[in-house]
C-alpha cells in the first residue's frame, strides 16, 4: 500500500524550533550542534520511498536563523507493489540573514525502483545556502533503478538555478555514455549561495579527475562530480565544502 507523508521544520533566530513535525517514515529529531547552528536529523522510521509513495519534507528558516539539517542514514528507493514511481519533494525557504546547510546522506536507487525527486529552494536576498545531493545508482552488485531529479532555486524571486537529470532504464538513452556518467555509479553536486560571491565570485576549476567547480550567474557556485563509489564522491564534495563554505 502506498503512503503519503509530509514532515516540516521551522527554525527561529533564537535557536528555537516552533515546528518540528514528523510524518510517516520521516522522523525528525533535534540533535546536538556546534557553533551557531540549530541541528535537525532526519531518521528513517521505515523503508521508504517505495513505488507509489508520496513523501515531502518542508523547511522554513526564518530571518536570522541558522539551521543544519542532516540524516542518520542513506535513503534507499525501493520497488513497491505500485507500478507508479515514488515522489520525494524537498521544499526549502530561507529568510534574510538566515543560513541553511542541507546535508543529507546519499540517495540510493535500488534495482527496480522508480523515483521522481524535486528540490525547490526560495532564498531571500541576504540568505546563505549550502546544499548537497548525492545519488548512488544501484546497490553493490546490482543495476540501478530509475531516477528523475530536479533542483530549482530562486533568489529574491528570480531564478538562480534550474536543472534536471535522469538516470536508469526508465530514462532516455545516453545517460550512461561518455558525455554523462561514463560508467560511474555515484553522482553528486554541492550548491553554495552566498551574497559575498557578488563581490568576490569563485573561479571555475577542476577539483578532481571527474569534478568541476563553476560559478553561477548570481552569487553562487556549483560543484558537480561523478565517482566510482560513494566514498570517493563524498571525499570530493567534502573538499569542495572546505573551499566554499568551511564553517
pLDDT given for residue 185 in this prediction: 92
For 17-20, the CB contacts below 8 A with 24+ separation are 19/60
DSSP string over 50-102: BTT-EEEEEEEE-TT-EEEEEESS-EEEB--SSSSPEEEEEEEEE-TT-EEEE
How far apart are alpha carbons 165 and 180 in whole angstroms? 10
The full set of domain ranges for the chain reads 4-244
SS3 content of the chain, % helix, strand, coil (to 5): 10, 50, 40
Alpha-helical runs (H) found in the chain: 230-244
Could you list the pLDDT tens digit for every one of the 247 residues in the chain? 789 999 999 999 999 999 999 999 999 999 999 889 999 999 976 677 999 999 999 999 999 999 999 999 999 999 988 889 999 999 999 999 999 999 999 999 999 999 999 999 999 999 999 999 999 999 988 999 999 999 999 999 999 999 999 999 978 777 888 778 888 999 999 999 999 999 999 999 999 889 999 999 999 999 999 999 999 999 999 999 999 998 7
Cβ burial, residue 191 (10 Å; 0-12/13-18/19+): buried
Cell 515531502 belongs to residue: 56
The pTM for the full model equals: 0.95
195 DSSP assignment: G
Q: How far is CA 155 from CA 2, 5, 17, 239, in A?
A: 35, 27, 24, 26
Amino acid at each position: 500500500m502506498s503512503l503519503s507523508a509530509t514532515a516540516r521544520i521551522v527554525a527561529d533566530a533564537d535557536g528555537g524550533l516552533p515546528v518540528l513535525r514528523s510524518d510517516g517514515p520521516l522522523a525528525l529529531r533535534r540533535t546536538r550542534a556546534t557553533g551557531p547552528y540549530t541541528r535537525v536529523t532526519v531518521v528513517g522510521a521505515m523503508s521508504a520511498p517505495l513505488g507509489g509513495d508520496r513523501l515531502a519534507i518542508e523547511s522554513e528558516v526564518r530571518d536570522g536563523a541558522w539551521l543544519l539539517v542532516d540524516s542518520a542514514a542513506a535513503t534507499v528507493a525501493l520497488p513497491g507493489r505500485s507500478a507508479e514511481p515514488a515522489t520525494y519533494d524537498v521544499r526549502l525557504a530561507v529568510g534574510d540573514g538566515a543560513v541553511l546547510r542541507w546535508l543529507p546522506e546519499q540517495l540510493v536507487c535500488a534495482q527496480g525502483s522508480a523515483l521522481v525527486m524535486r528540490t525547490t529552494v526560495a532564498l531571500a536576498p541576504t540568505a546563505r545556502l549550502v546544499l548537497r545531493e548525492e545519488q548512488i545508482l544501484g546497490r553493490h552488485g546490482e543495476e540501478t533503478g530509475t531516477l528523475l531529479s530536479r533542483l530549482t532555486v530562486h533568489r529574491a524571486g528570480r531564478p538562480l538555478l534550474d536543472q534536471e537529470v535522469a538516470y536508469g532504464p526508465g530514462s532516455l538513452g545516453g545517460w550512461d555514455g561518455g558525455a554523462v556518467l561514463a560508467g560511474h555509479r555515484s553522482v553528486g553536486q554541492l550548491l553554495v549561495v552566498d551574497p559575498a560571491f557578488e563581490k568576490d565570485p569563485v573561479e571555475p576549476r577542476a577539483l578532481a579527475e571527474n569534478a568541476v567547480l563553476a560559478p553561477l550567474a548570481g552569487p553562487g557556485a556549483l560543484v558537480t562530480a561523478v565517482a566510482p563509489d560513494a566514498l570517493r564522491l563524498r571525499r570530493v564534495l567534502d573538499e569542495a565544502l572546505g573551499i566554499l563554505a568551511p564553517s
